[in-house]
Structure 1
Amino acid sequence: MEKSVIVKDVTKKYKMYARSSEKILDLISPKGYGKSFYALQGISFEANKGDVIGIIGVNGSGKSTLSNIIAGIIPPTSGTVEIKGEAALIAIQSGLKKELTGRENIELKCLMLGFDKKQIIELTPQIIEFADIGDFIDQPVKTYSSGMRSRLGFAISIHIDPDILVIDEALSVGDQTFADKCLDKMNEFKEKGKTIFFISHSISQMKKFCEKALWIQYGHVERYGPMSEVMPEYENFIKKYKKMTKKEKKAFQESVQKSRMMNA
């Protein structure tokens, strides 16, 4: 199988400061200042063309950070990401300029990706029809609901026909009819052999649509493999976690948080 995404030892570190003055101290101090938070640590995996991979994990595990790195929105602190083709991220807030109208956002996004005026004129009606947000297409995006932003973002991304599609909770808002329409479109992409990463809290959607699962557990890869093997293990973990007392959950979260923090 031909590889489409190769992620090797990717780590993403953020600096955390108690006050703004610590940012200046961090710049001038030889050893740095403040604490480092590791959103991701040593992430490695490979995806093939045609793979549909569900990225699973509890809140705060680093799923969105990873999706942004795969899509090229943010760089890793260390490690490498090799992408073969054009990648597009679909997230509720992704890539939309709030002061511009929906129509202006379509044109801007297409221009940034190298489409010429003729191509944009041809694509715009298709994008508007798929988004199905009515007269709001000519209103500033800042007036949109989260569902409308998701509709527009999804419509733009799928019509620019990327090789790698990263969908981060974009189907978690809005109505079921639109979600079904999106899943149908994603199935078309699957049939074309495109690589799809799918992040969703809907385990049923994951099982229905994805063939592989990448379980991110607080910044690390816990398991990666066939959905039929990884998802049952993840569901067992969730069941055990839910049965914990408040004290046990707090102790568990604190131990995990400690492993992801260190002084500069």
Structure 2
Amino acid sequence: MGKSVIVSHVSKKYKMFKSNSEKILDLLLPKGYGPSFYALQDISFDANDGDVVGIIGVNGSGKSTLSNIIAGVIPPTEGTVTVNGEAALIAIQSGLKGELTGRENIELKCLMLGFNKKEIKELTPRIIEFADIGDFIEQPVKTYSSGMRSRLGFAISIHIDPDILVIDEALSVGDQTFADKCLKKMNEFKEKGKTIFFISHSIGQMKRFCEKALWVQYGQVQDYGLMKDVMPKYEQFIRDYKKMSEEERRAFQEKVRMRRMSPV
């Protein structure tokens, strides 16, 4: 079993500017200007062919930033990511052009991935059927609901048959029937030995579908291993956090915030 994704000491840092003048100073000064915020700090893990990894963590922990880095949408500030194969990101807004119709978005995405006109003509009806958004396929994507955008994005990504699938909250909108259809398709990918990263607020979906869990806690890896071993620890953290007083929560959040800040 080979390594499909290797993430080594990855960090992602963003500048915290209060004004345009601070942006200019940051460009002009040799060492930059102003504080930075670490969305991710020194993240390292690897995934094998056929792994289904649930990325868990509270809001603001960097899960979406990590999914975008794995998929090659954004680069890391530090560290390296090795992806052995073609990766596709499925997120509610990912890669869809609002001014174009659903059909035009299908054609554009396939062209960008190197499909020829004949292949696109064959794929398009299957994608449209899976998305199941009716006449909206001929309307601009900017008129779509979040559920329809998710349906179209998911349909396009699974039909281009990537080696690595990164799903970021794409099943959190829309109806249960569509979510079940997506999970069935993802199981087909799993059976083919493809690697899947799955982000969802639904712990039930995570437990049902994922074999491994990567717990990202405020920009750092808290734990990584089998779902049955990691998820109980995460659930215990959530229970403990909910029991904190407002003062204890503020102190905890401030401690976390200071850890993720850098003077430059």
- TM-score normalised over the length of structure 1: 0.99
Structure 2 gap segments, 5+ residues each = none
Following the alignment from structure 2 to structure 1, what is the Cα–Cα distance between the partners of residues 196 and 262?
34
RMSD: 0.5
5 Å-filtered alignment, 1:194-233, equals 194-233=194-233
Corresponding residue number in structure 2 for 1:167 = 167
Corresponding residue number in structure 2 for 1:97 = 97
Following the alignment from structure 1 to structure 2, what is the Cα–Cα distance between the partners of residues 70 and 49?
15
After TM superposition, give the deviation of residue 191 of structure 1 in Å: 0.3
1:21 equivalent in alignment to 2:16: no
Q: Which one-letter code corresponds to 1:11 in the other structure?
A: S
Corresponding residue number in structure 2 for 1:63 = 63
State the secondary structure of the residue aligned to 2:241.
helix
- TM-score normalised over the length of structure 2: 0.99
**Count of paired positions:** 264
Corresponding residue number in structure 1 for 2:117 = 117
Following the alignment from structure 2 to structure 1, what is the Cα–Cα distance between the partners of residues 262 and 76?
18
Q: Which one-letter code corresponds to 1:162 in the other structure?
A: P
State the secondary structure of the residue aligned to 1:60.
coil
5 Å-filtered alignment, 1:1-264, equals 1-264=1-264
After TM superposition, give the deviation of residue 80 of structure 1 in Å: 0.5
After TM superposition, give the deviation of residue 34 of structure 1 in Å: 1.1
State the secondary structure of the residue aligned to 1:85.
coil
Following the alignment from structure 1 to structure 2, what is the Cα–Cα distance between the partners of residues 184 and 32?
49
Following the alignment from structure 2 to structure 1, what is the Cα–Cα distance between the partners of residues 254 and 138?
47
Following the alignment from structure 2 to structure 1, what is the Cα–Cα distance between the partners of residues 31 and 162?
42
After TM superposition, give the deviation of residue 29 of structure 1 in Å: 1.4
- Partner deviation per Cα, 1:166-197 (whole Å, 9 max, x = no partner): 00000000000000000000000000000000
Identity rate of aligned residues, in percent?
80
State the secondary structure of the residue aligned to 1:75.
coil
- Partner deviation per Cα, 1:103-133 (whole Å, 9 max, x = no partner): 0000000000000000000000000000000
After TM superposition, give the deviation of residue 30 of structure 1 in Å: 2.3
After TM superposition, give the deviation of residue 31 of structure 1 in Å: 2.3
After TM superposition, give the deviation of residue 263 of structure 1 in Å: 1.2
Q: Give 4+ residue runs of structure 1 displaced > 4 Å after superposition.
A: none
After TM superposition, give the deviation of residue 250 of structure 1 in Å: 1.1
After TM superposition, give the deviation of residue 66 of structure 1 in Å: 0.2
Structure 1 gap segments, 5+ residues each = none
Q: Which one-letter code corresponds to 2:8 in the other structure?
A: K
State the secondary structure of the residue aligned to 1:135.
helix
Following the alignment from structure 2 to structure 1, what is the Cα–Cα distance between the partners of residues 34 and 136?
45
State the secondary structure of the residue aligned to 2:14.
strand
After TM superposition, give the deviation of residue 137 of structure 1 in Å: 0.2
Q: Which one-letter code corresponds to 1:243 in the other structure?
A: K
After TM superposition, give the deviation of residue 262 of structure 1 in Å: 1.4
Following the alignment from structure 2 to structure 1, what is the Cα–Cα distance between the partners of residues 35 and 98?
33
After TM superposition, give the deviation of residue 247 of structure 1 in Å: 1.2
Q: Which one-letter code corresponds to 2:225 in the other structure?
A: G
Following the alignment from structure 2 to structure 1, what is the Cα–Cα distance between the partners of residues 20 and 150?
34
